[in-house]
Every structure is written in C-alpha cells, then in structure tokens.
Amino acid sequence: MPDQLLAELREALGPKSVSFGGAAQLLYSRDSSVFPGGQPGPVCFPETTEQVVACVQAAVNHNRSFVPRGAGTGLAGGAIPCDDPVMIVTTRMNKILEVDKQKQFAWVEPGVINLDLSRYLLGTGLHFAPDPSSQQSCTIGGNVANNSGGPHCLAYGVTSAHILAVEVVLPDASVAVFGDPEGPAGGYDLRGAFVGGEGTLGVATRVAVRLTPDPPAVRTMLLDYQDVGTAADTVSAIIGAGIVPAAIEMMDQKVIEVVEKFIKVGYPQDAAAVLIVEVDGLIDGVEHEVERITEIALACGTRTVRVAADEEERARIWKGRKNAFGAIAQVKPGYYLHDTVIPRTKLTEVINKVYETAERYDLLVMNVFHAGDGNLHPLLIFDPQEEGIMDRVLAAGEEIVQTSLDAGGVLSGEHGIGLEKRRFMDRLFSENDLDAQAKLRHTFDPDERANPHKVLPGGSSCAEINHMDKPPEGTWV
C-alpha cells in the first residue's frame, strides 16, 4: 500500500484515526453477512464532514475506491471492502446535533445508534419510527444506506419515509445537501435516490430525520395458532378488513421454542405459530380495533387472544421478537436468510414452499418475519464446519428467492442488495431497468469509486475474493 496515501490520511485525520494492518484489517474486512472478508486498505475514523471529505479526496488523489461503513450489522455484504478501498467508518460521528420539537425533526450524524436516538427522545412526545431488529447496534447512516425497515414500518413506512434531508460527500469529494427538513424543496428528489443507495452514491455525514408523535394509546396482542397457514390467513383478513395495525409479526414453532429457552417471555410453546399485533392511536379507536382484530382472529381459527395488560407485559412480548435472531445461536452457530417481500395473500403458499425447500436440502429452517407487509425472513440454520453445508444452504436460499419472485415478490424489504442479491437483479428488472439504474449511479460516480461491485450485476466480483457472490465452503456466519 502506498505510504503516501496513509500519510495523507493521517495528516488530515490524525494518526489515531487511521489504522492499517493488524486487528483493524480483520475487523473491517467483513460485515454480518455470510460472505468472507475482503481486503480493506486504510481504515479511517472521521469525526467531521471535513474529515470525510479528506478521506474521499485522498481516495481520488490516489485512484482508490472507498467504502462507507457503519456498525457492520448489514446482512447482504454491502460493507465488505472490494478493490483494496479506503474504509470510511462513521461510528465516531455519533452526535445528535439538533432536535426541533415544534417542527418535529432532528439533525443527527450517521453514527448515531438507532435505539440511542429513541432513548434520547424519551419524554419529548416524539420518536423515530423505523425500528430494525438490530436497532440496539445499527446506525442511522446504515439505516439510510439500506432503507431499513422494522416491525412498526407496516403503518409508518420504512426509513425513506422518515428522512427529510441528507448531507452527502459525493464521490468527487464535493459536499451537497439533498432535501430540506422544512419541506419539499422542488426539483429532482435526490434525497429519495440516495436513501437505499447502499453507499454507492456517496457518504452521508448529517441526516435530518422526521420525528413521529408518540401515540396516545398502544395495545399489543399475542395470538397463537395450531398451524402457520391459519396465522397467515389472519394477517390478510385483518388488512382486508381495512385495519392497518402498527405492526404484525409472525414467528413459527421452532422460533417460539428457542426464544422461550433463551429468555422466557411467555410464548405458548405448543403453538405452531404466533402473531404479535400492535395497534396505536386514539384510545377509543384503539379499543375498537382490538375488538375487531379479536373477532377476525377467532373467526380465522386462533386458539387464544392475549392483550398485554401493561407496559411491562408489552415489553416482554416484544423482547422475544427482538431477540429472536440472537436466540438462534443456541441451536447452531450459523444462519443464512433472505428478506424477500411477497404479496400478503401468498404468505401461506410461499411459507409452505420454504419448508419444502429446507426439507429437500436437509436443512433446519425457522421463520420470523414482518407478516403485515409480507417481508419474509426465513432463517436457514447450520453449522459452518459441516462438510458440504454451504452448497446446500446457498442452493436452498436461491430457491427461496426464486419462489418469492414467482409469487410476485421483490428481492429485499430492508437488508439491501449488496453483494448477496446482485446476481438476482436481472430476474426482477429488465435490461432497460438496470441500464437506467446504472446511468443514475454513473452520474453520481463516473469513476465507479464509491463502494464498487455492489447492488448492480455485471463486472467482476471483488478482486481479492474468489466468486464472492457465492461464499466458499466453511465460511463463518
């Protein structure tokens, strides 16, 4: 690696804010996906917009690519370094800069942890609605990059609906602000193009987030079923009745079992599936919706309807859902999942095909997902050290993706495309569709310097990694 690049970065950021070699190279070589690590160049920890500009300018000066990275919780390989890039890690940019309660927005830096923002806002009567399951560790910058979702995005929308403006360091090291917290600014919606861009259009350095008023009343319900199909039918029936809850989450029997062993939240262990349904709003309307959902659920075949009696019970119900992925480690050390989205009316059909696929490949599958908007999260559970396992896992994963697409679904609801799903993009988009996306990207980044080899198909995978689109045998998860 050229000493001049490292010296330039250390002069701009300070010697303690730029690492090369040792633990940093290993830690920042990968994210939380199944993909093996890449080879990062200098790992930089900027604390200001000016320092991010210096990182990008150094990459330009030395003809290097760069990769923006937050907490590394991504599951699609979006933060894996390709082409020996300058790694721009924004976790030290973690300040909440301004909260305007009257206008209901806040300016934050990209390294702010999602849950920390919610905790900061406690008592203000406002909150940040997107709540990914990883919200204890994922950052706002990462949420913006992947257009993340979460349980409560059924009623409130995914991240893009809650981002008013973004300050961005572009791939040529210039700085622009997309959007305006005061309202639509007119012109092209570059904010909308940037959110979900997975770091391929630049680096977010400040984000204006929309704050949502806390609802006057909240009721959380736990419904249990003797089969998954009946639970899925209930989801469609609730939405079909004109009720849009704040959240509808589903867990199948295997997830219920491991969650109960892990944290004992009180889920019925003999149930084939449970639904968590949450409604919020004005007290009279909420109570009416609880009654209507109870009627619908009983008509669909639920065994019991449990309404949380207080905030403690409500928190306990949600604790099980939020810790489901962590509980999986009790069974086997690895898991692989896709986050395709399908029409709600196809839930039963697709879930049954997921079970069939897992059985055919002799794999254990567990389902925990955002049922209200059809965002599936089938977890293929495995031991990475088992001989031949990755071939079976990846083949099953590909079938699940194709099953979802055949049902009229899309590739991702919140995890992004990254390296993982780029090889599937031409199954969803036409050649003209992909060409239009490539032209947009090229307009922002004509030298293809920002997070190369991500999202769009074509070209080579990371030079250092053989066939990165398909993880090799023995990959740790």
- Residues paired with residue 43 on neighbouring β-strands, in sequence order: 19, 87
Cα gap 319→222, rounded to integer Å: 13
pLDDT of residue 476: 37
Which residues have CB under 8 Å from 1's CB, separation 6+? 20, 41, 42, 84
Low-confidence ranges of the chain (pLDDT < 50): 1, 460, 463-468, 471-477
Contact 258, 265 (CB under 8 A): no
What integer pLDDT is reported at residue 186 of this predicted model?
83
Nearest to 332 by CA among 364, 368, 357: 364
pTM value > 0.85:
yes
pLDDT of residue 1: 47
What DSSP character marks residue 215? P
Sign of CA dihedral 458, 461, 467, 470: negative
286 neighbors 218 (Cβ within 8 angstroms): yes
**Domain spans in the chain, listed from the N-terminal domain onward:** 3-89, 96-213, 217-327, 332-417
Q: Which CATH architecture has domain 96-213?
A: 2-Layer Sandwich (3.30)
Selecting from 3.30.870.10, 3.30.590.10, 3.30.43.10, 3.10.20.30, what CATH number does the domain 3-89 have? Answer: 3.30.43.10
**CATH architecture assignment, domain 332-417:** 2-Layer Sandwich (3.30)
Residue type, 250: M
Rg of the chain, C-alpha, whole Å:
22
CA-to-CA separations, 411 to 51, 87, 163, 374, in angstroms, rounded:
35, 27, 22, 12
pLDDT, residue 462, reads 56
- CATH for 217-327? 3.30.70.2190
What pLDDT was estimated at residue 477?
37
pLDDT the model gives residue 472 = 41
Integer Cα distance of 196 and 185 in angstroms: 20
What's the pLDDT tens digit per position in 297-332? 999 999 999 999 999 999 999 999 999 988 988 899
CB 25 within 8 A of CB 43: yes
> Rounded to the nearest 5°, which phi and psi values hold at 447?
-90, 5
The pLDDT value given to residue 37: 85
pLDDT at 21: 86
Q: Is the distance from CB of 144 to CB of 204 less than 8 angstroms? A: yes
Are 217-327 and 332-417 equal in CATH topology?
Answer: yes
